[in-house]
Amino acid sequence: MSKNVRLTNKGRSLLLDYDYALRTRRQVLALTLIDRDDRFHAIPQSLLNLHKMKKFAQGEPVIKIESKKFNSNEVEVLFDRSRN
């Protein structure tokens, strides 16, 4: 993952509602996410091709992405902007 990944807020694309989207800076693709609860435990929902979309939210730069295993408290850092 590169520093060019951005996070957008809630949105709608065609018939798809999502809570967040991880998108590329050059508007190539976006991974939509839905929030499972109020503690920002987002899970992947769909992958959007942004090439033909005229407008998609700009979003903010991603600082850190962590993955937590369902059956334990083990957390893996997938992306940390301060390390890259």
The domain ranges of the chain are 6-80
As a residue count, the chain comes to 84
| CA distance linking residue 7 with residue 76, whole number of Å | 19
What's residue 17's pLDDT?
A: 92
The total of other beta-carbon atoms located within 10 Å of residue 13's CB is 15
> What tens digit of pLDDT does each residue of 35-77 get?
877 666 788 999 999 887 878 889 999 999 888 887 888 999 9
What's residue 32's pLDDT?
A: 92
Sign, CA torsion 37/40/46/48: positive
| 27-40 average pLDDT score | 82
What's residue 36's pLDDT?
A: 77
| CA distance linking residue 59 with residue 8, whole number of Å | 4
pLDDT exceeds cutoff 90 at 31? yes
